[in-house]
Structure 1
Amino acid sequence: MDASRRPLVRRAVLCLLSFVLLAGCSLAGSTSSSSSSSPSAGRDLPDTEQAAVPGADDLESDYRKVIRDVLPSVVQIQAGDELGSGVVYDGKGHIVTNAHVVGDGKTFQVTTAGSETPLTAELVYSYPQQDLAVIRLERVPDGLKAARFGDSAEVGVGQIVLAMGSPLGLASSVTQGIVSATGRTVTEGGTGGGTGATLANMVQTSAAINPGNSGGALVDLRGEVVGIPTLAAADPRAGNAAAGIGFAIPASTVKAVAGQIVEQGRVTHSGRAALGITGRTLVDADYQAVGVAVVEVQRDGAADEAGIRPEDVITGLGDTDVTTITSLAEALAARQPGDRTTVTFRRGDAERTADVTLGEQ
């Protein structure tokens, strides 16, 4: 799960744009049985009439089938004193999870859905920029089942999804919701175990995402993993989790990143646009953020070739105002390497613009 050294429940707070939590648990619930009499008819109804909810049996059957098919591919990961989740990527023992789940760890204890005996796994590679990591089991148990990953382009608003993982250490838990939105850009906080990454094209879901769900599976009714649950929003007024607003890294991104790690041992093509600078947020005399001060320019990078220098202050990218390093990251997240755009910046007292061809992070 979220890989801080603090206890599991207290370590949840992060920033989504302004308020976001690292992912984790399902909400407990109960159902009450229906009354055996009808208020309108005033008589007892046969069992067959009480169960007359069109399609309910079919939908429940779909849920149960998906859970039977996919849950064996979702594992619990212990990283130090913390617990998180992961998804079996292939039959060779590779497991994909969040980078904030593995943290700085190199070895982990993994419990599969069909066994209570932990298995040892080692880190293959962690990619905090996209909050993804791959670990590998030292011994592949019989019957280990790889998950099927779907196509993010086919994920639509209103689609029913199930979140599977180990919320609050409750292994093999399942919650249900819908896809609330797609294409969200969110930013993790850099404290409490977060990577500080800006994540583009996230899937927003109403399925419960709580501490411990991080790295698990967001699954559609075809039994395909459509995302890796990663973040839960927080109520800025109450300071705690906002019910029904969670975010998952889309399956296409997971496949692209994990595939490179499995095949090459690292990420060679991120697909993330970059300016090629190191910067910091600049504040004015009233402590208001006013831009990104360029600290270092990468040689032959996009900014270098456009003539941007250290001590310049970036205030815009294309039509987007830039006031903080986070807002710059979010503006870049909406673009692709090779895109052409303009950078607005201040040099001394003069405002300037430069045409830039974006590089790759």
Structure 2
Amino acid sequence: MDASRLRTPLRRTARVRLFRIPRLAGPVVAVSCCLALAAGCSSGPGPGSSARGEESGSDTAQASVPRASGDLQSDYLKVIKDVLPSVVQIQATSDLGSGVVYDDQGHIVTNAHVVGDERSFQVTTASSEQPLTAELVFSYPEQDLAVVKLDSVPDGLAPARFADSSKVQVGDIVLAMGSPLGLSSSVTQGIVSATGRTVSEGQSGGGTGATIADMIQTSAAINPGNSGGALVDLDSEVIGIPTLAATDPDLGNSAAPGIGFAIPANTVKTIADQIIKNGRVTDSGRAALGIVGRTVVDSDLQAAGVAVVSVESGGAAAGAGLKAGDIITRLGDVDITTITSLSEALAEDRPGDRTSVTYTRGGAEKTVDVTLGEQ
């Protein structure tokens, strides 16, 4: 199936929500979780198996575990042992999420919507008996990423290894690690369902409203509290940071099982390295038109474009001659009906790219070329 046909229904019909959970009220109930990785289990030999075994005088009739399954179980256990110590729980005043240890200096990468507007946090690592304190280094809501730093680095803090996410393939087996519903150090399993997704967050419930390109879609179970955790491959490398889940509007916006999204590791590394080095993001790599806009509707109350409210001086739109009051209806070959569709179209481009903008002014349709700026 053509990739463009896969992206189109996602953009038009899939709704996305954040993995956020409210502060756990009252005493926390300790839950003992046991993960059983069964490989080739059987209640006994099949009909006739024992007789054939006796006739041959061999013991080949025993119910053995296929080597391939045994190897896969060993891989799972090794990945969990390698990576789980690098996944932490982050507690803000009213929200709880996850994070991944980024280096041995105590930097932890997480989602911007996990830290919200706060600057101080309680962090529980795999080896700490008591929560550790941490301070915000910088939050970048445009990409829904943030970095916090532990005030004191404990002995044995284990940084995770981040993969080259450009090599991720559909069908790769992955594990999601985090603190779903406050259950720290939880692990779920799935595959990479798709790559290159462009997804927009809502702003309700503390969302950043970000439009994020090149996301990894996974079938691994992702739940509230997994935000900021780790999506890991069988090489024990983090390929992405779980951030969003799809909801099904036909089921009352309940979670759509097996449809989660993670920010790719290459994006995480690019943003986190800048934050750690400069204290902020200096090169976002995100294309911008340089306008403030809002969705407008037609006479049938259907979304029909983006009205330019204001134009940034010296920005891409100003250079192309766009003015307040213009209604943008197309960017390149993509129809624009809402501010979200404009954000998604821009997410596919890079600063410096040249494209066209189709808009209406005074009832007349016009098209101009524009060189995109940086957000």
TM-score by length of 1: 0.91
**Correspondence 1:333 to 2:347:** yes
**How far 1:47 moved relative to its partner?**
9.7
Q: Which residue of 2 aligns with 1:56?
A: 69
**Correspondence 1:174 to 2:181:** no
Do the aligned partners of residues 29 and 16 (structure 1) sit closer, same or farther apart at CA in structure 2, a change above 3 Å counting?
A: farther
Do the aligned partners of residues 110 and 240 (structure 1) sit closer, same or farther apart at CA in structure 2, a change above 3 Å counting?
A: same
Specify the SS of the correspondent of 2:259: strand
Q: Which residue of 1 aligns with 2:336?
A: 322
1:247 is matched by which residue type in structure 2? F
Specify the SS of the correspondent of 2:158: coil
Specify the SS of the correspondent of 2:155: coil
Separation in 2, partners of 1:357, 1:308: 13
Separation in 2, partners of 1:200, 1:141: 35
Unaligned runs of 5+ in 1: 1-14
**How far 1:285 moved relative to its partner?**
2.9
2:292 is matched by which residue type in structure 1? T
**Correspondence 1:189 to 2:202:** yes
**Correspondence 1:153 to 2:166:** yes
Aligned pair partner of 1:40 in 38, 47, 50 = 47
Separation in 1, partners of 2:90, 2:244: 17
Aligned pair partner of 2:311 in 297, 300, 305 = 297
**Correspondence 1:143 to 2:156:** yes
**How far 1:203 moved relative to its partner?**
0.4
CA contact (8 A) 1:17 1:187 kept: no
**How far 1:124 moved relative to its partner?**
0.6
CA contact (8 A) 2:99 2:109 kept: yes
Specify the SS of the correspondent of 1:299: coil
**How far 1:66 moved relative to its partner?**
1.0
CA contact (8 A) 1:16 1:188 kept: no
Specify the SS of the correspondent of 2:114: helix
Do the aligned partners of residues 47 and 67 (structure 1) sit closer, same or farther apart at CA in structure 2, a change above 3 Å counting?
A: farther
**How far 1:288 moved relative to its partner?**
1.1
**Correspondence 1:19 to 2:15:** yes
Do the aligned partners of residues 295 and 344 (structure 1) sit closer, same or farther apart at CA in structure 2, a change above 3 Å counting?
A: same
Aligned pair partner of 1:117 in 123, 130, 133 = 130
Do the aligned partners of residues 155 and 201 (structure 1) sit closer, same or farther apart at CA in structure 2, a change above 3 Å counting?
A: same
**How far 1:152 moved relative to its partner?**
1.1
Q: How does 1:70-149 map to 2 (within 5 A)?
A: 70-149=83-162
**Correspondence 1:350 to 2:364:** yes
Number of aligned residues: 346
Give the share of equivalent positions with the same residue, in percent.
Answer: 66
Specify the SS of the correspondent of 1:113: coil
Separation in 2, partners of 1:114, 1:310: 56
Q: Which residue of 2 aligns with 1:286?
A: 300
2:135 is matched by which residue type in structure 1? E
**Correspondence 1:243 to 2:250:** no
**Correspondence 1:218 to 2:225:** no
Aligned pair partner of 2:289 in 272, 275, 296 = 275
* 1:257-284 per-position Cα deviation (integer Å, ceiling 9, x unaligned): 0110000000011000000000000112
User: Which shifted more, 54-63 or 289-298?
Assistant: 54-63
Task: Compare relative contact order (CA 8 Å, sep 6+) and give the higher one, 1 or 2.
Answer: 1
**Correspondence 1:165 to 2:161:** no
Specify the SS of the correspondent of 1:140: coil
Unaligned runs of 5+ in 2: 1-10, 22-32, 54-58
Do the aligned partners of residues 16 and 101 (structure 1) sit closer, same or farther apart at CA in structure 2, a change above 3 Å counting?
A: farther
CA contact (8 A) 1:37 1:43 kept: no
Separation in 1, partners of 2:113, 2:311: 28
**Higher percent of residues as helix:** 2
* 1:222-268 per-position Cα deviation (integer Å, ceiling 9, x unaligned): 11110000011112211211111110000000000011000000001
Q: Which residue of 2 aligns with 1:198?
A: 211
**How far 1:38 moved relative to its partner?**
3.4
Separation in 2, partners of 1:36, 1:271: 56
CA contact (8 A) 2:99 2:229 kept: yes
Specify the SS of the correspondent of 2:343: helix
Separation in 2, partners of 1:214, 1:59: 26
CA contact (8 A) 2:20 2:227 kept: yes
Separation in 1, partners of 2:306, 2:34: 44
Do the aligned partners of residues 143 and 352 (structure 1) sit closer, same or farther apart at CA in structure 2, a change above 3 Å counting?
A: same
